[in-house]
A and B are shown apart, each in its own frame.
Chain A
Amino acid sequence: MTGTGALARLQAAFASAVTGGDEAAVAAQLAGDPALARRRLAIYREAIGANRRGALRSAYPVVARLVGEAFFDEAARRLADSAPPACADLNRYGDGFPAFLTTYPHAGQMPWLADVARLEWAWHEALSAADAPGIDFAALAAVPAEEEPALRFSLHPSVRLVSSAWPVLAIWEANQPERDGAPDRDEGADDVLLWREDGRVRMALLDPLDAAFVAAIGRGIPLEEAAGSEGWNFAPMLARLAEHGLLAGFAGPPSGG
């Protein structure tokens, strides 16, 4: 809770003035030439706006390119007004941007925009997620065959799965700095797997059964149940997860230890 003393009142008035609110309350408390003091207050207002825009732009470079500077800056300003940073680490700011875009009227002509933003936020999260040692392959190899169907795996903390009705991965790839913005595909739906490997975020397009399997594994569902449909061979996907370090650990059935 914020205190009620003079310091708390001054800070509340100052914060309001530098985030687009009324200046009068704080202006009365500034020393020196009033006109100059107000212009100096604007230095703070502009810096705060620029920091927030900058943080959002660095997390959402593809959205920024798709919509252009004026659109992006206005969206950033409205997001900051409705959901200002709640934490001093601006790397964590902007998680609400995809949801904001789904209801932002000016984004209506780009129905894929919010999903592209979800993909970018997943990428951003994957980059700074916790580190984890890889799975113990020797211990895994020692699991008796009859216990394998009951194994539960845990995924590396960086793993994210983004599903969209739009070709979001193709849009993302086409809007990297070296590309001209024209996607290779104009149809989705895309199930995109993201993970961090050797310090870099990687992405792969999965087919729907693979995606459902990875999602189930991520929820801690036992292997056989996660594999789902009859006769579907989960082994290639499991091997792929293992090879790229997406499996962080495993637990056997309760009785088998």
Chain B
Amino acid sequence: MPARFPPRAPDPATAGIGLRTPHFEALAARTPPLSFLEVHSENYFAEGGPALAWLERFRADYAVSLHGVGLSLGSADPLDPRHLDRLAALAGRIEPALVSEHLCWSSIGGTHLGELLPLPYTEEALAHVCRRVTEVQERLRRPILVENVSAYVRFVSSTIPEGEFVAEVARRTGCGVLFDVNNAWVNAANHGTDPRAILDALEPASVGEIHLAGYEATRDGLVDTHGARVFPEVWALYEETLARLGQVPTLVEWDNDIPPLDVLLGEATLANAILASAGARSRAAA
């Protein structure tokens, strides 16, 4: 099929934002400079209607990233063929620059739980996830990115550190990694581990995207709500991440209690400043 849109790739020097319905009008009216827009793929699985029409309109101006929340890469169930079909159809329609999913599971026995649930980091789970990432990549005919998730519980059966699990999926399948800095921070805080451990394990070249978001502190730990500004300690970890990786396309996510567009653009501007200093450092080192 001939391309319908200009090819666009995220600019690694500037951040992008998650595209949410309340911002459609303001974003279309202003078209601010953004590296890319990211959507939850499943929100555009309809066959037609206004949401898809909006996304096509934005795709004319921006690179788009399709970020899945429901493929259930780690589920012991077979992959849902209807879900894969819809994702492939959406990718064909939107021509995204990036396609990503989570290293988690969300369905079992034909029932969808609609949450990003943690995997046991075992050899069985690793081999299973790798087979499925390969299946998805073959179906979409492109590499995907897989994201480290926040996990409020851990399993006694886990034998592989999370970072090594993520890195090994990338190594075995050729997929990239979407490194979520906030998730790394949330997990470290909740389980008393080192937030840099995942980063230590990853192949720098495998990281194709970075996520930033806000969490909520509760009496039972940090909850990854995507409903607040990025916290200072997460900004610091992001800075450290870029110091190691150089500039990587970065996305600010905000999915709950969605603020006015300017608040989100303000967060993207903060990320831009950190991206700029990472770029300057790389140039100085070159």
Chain B residues whose C-beta falls within 8 Å of the C-beta of A29 in the assembled complex: 120, 155-157
Would you call B128 and A18 a contact (CB within 8 A)?
Answer: no
Chain A residues whose C-beta falls within 8 Å of the C-beta of B156 in the assembled complex: 29-31
Given A8-B76, A15-B111, is A31 in contact with B71 using a C-beta cutoff of 8 Å?
no
Chain A residues whose C-beta falls within 8 Å of the C-beta of B47 in the assembled complex: 128-131, 157
Give a binary string over A103-147; 1 marks a CB under 8 Å from any B CB, 0 the rest. Answer: 000000000000000000000000111111000000000000000
Q: Does A87 lie at the interface of the complex (its beta carbon under 8 Å from any beta carbon of B)?
A: yes
Q: Does A235 lie at the interface of the complex (its beta carbon under 8 Å from any beta carbon of B)?
A: no
Give a binary string over B64-98; 1 marks a CB under 8 Å from any A CB, 0 the rest. Answer: 00000111101111101011001000000000000
Would you call B220 and A39 a contact (CB within 8 A)?
Answer: yes
Query: Interface residues of A, CB < 8 Å — how many?
Result: 51
What separation, in Å, do the CA atoms of A182 and B107 have in the docked complex?
Answer: 42
Q: Does A229 lie at the interface of the complex (its beta carbon under 8 Å from any beta carbon of B)?
A: no
Chain B residues whose C-beta falls within 8 Å of the C-beta of A70 in the assembled complex: none
Specify which of B82, B112, B152 is in contact with A43 (CB 8 Å cutoff).
B152
Given A6-B122, A40-B220, is A14 in contact with B154 using a C-beta cutoff of 8 Å?
no
What separation, in Å, do the CA atoms of A157 and B157 have in the docked complex?
Answer: 50
What separation, in Å, do the CA atoms of A189 and B69 have in the docked complex?
Answer: 43
Across the two chains, which residue of chain B brings its CB closest to A92?
Answer: B45
* Min CB gap A163→B, angstroms: 24
* Min CB gap A95→B, angstroms: 14
Given A12-B108, A12-B109, is A89 in contact with B45 using a C-beta cutoff of 8 Å?
yes
Would you call A41 and B76 a contact (CB within 8 A)?
Answer: no
Chain B residues whose C-beta falls within 8 Å of the C-beta of A2 in the assembled complex: 76-77, 108-109
Q: Does B110 lie at the interface of the complex (its beta carbon under 8 Å from any beta carbon of A)?
A: yes
Q: Range of interface residues on chain B?
A: 35 or more
Interface centre among A12, A37, A44, A129 (most CB of B within 10 A): A44
* Min CB gap A120→B, angstroms: 16
Would you call B155 and A88 a contact (CB within 8 A)?
Answer: no
Q: Which of A1-49 contact B (CB under 8 A)?
A: 1-3, 5-8, 10-12, 14-15, 18-19, 29-32, 36-37, 39-44, 47-48
Q: Does B221 lie at the interface of the complex (its beta carbon under 8 Å from any beta carbon of A)?
A: yes
Across the two chains, which residue of chain B brings its CB closest to A127?
Answer: B49
Interface centre among B52, B153, B190, B223 (most CB of A within 10 A): B153
Given A11-B76, A91-B43, is A86 in contact with B111 using a C-beta cutoff of 8 Å?
yes
Binding site for B on A (CB under 8 A): 1-3, 5-8, 10-12, 14-15, 18-19, 29-32, 36-37, 39-44, 47-48, 51-52, 55, 84-92, 127-132, 157-158, 196, 199-200
Q: Provide a sorted-by-A list of 12 A–B residue pairs whose CB atoms are within 8 angstroms.
A: A2-B109, A15-B113, A30-B155, A31-B158, A32-B154, A44-B153, A51-B115, A86-B112, A88-B112, A92-B45, A127-B50, A128-B49
Known: A7-B119, A88-B72. 17 other contacts (CB 8 A): A6-B157, A7-B74, A7-B125, A10-B155, A11-B117, A32-B191, A43-B152, A44-B113, A44-B117, A87-B83, A88-B70, A88-B112, A127-B49, A128-B51, A130-B48, A131-B52, A132-B48
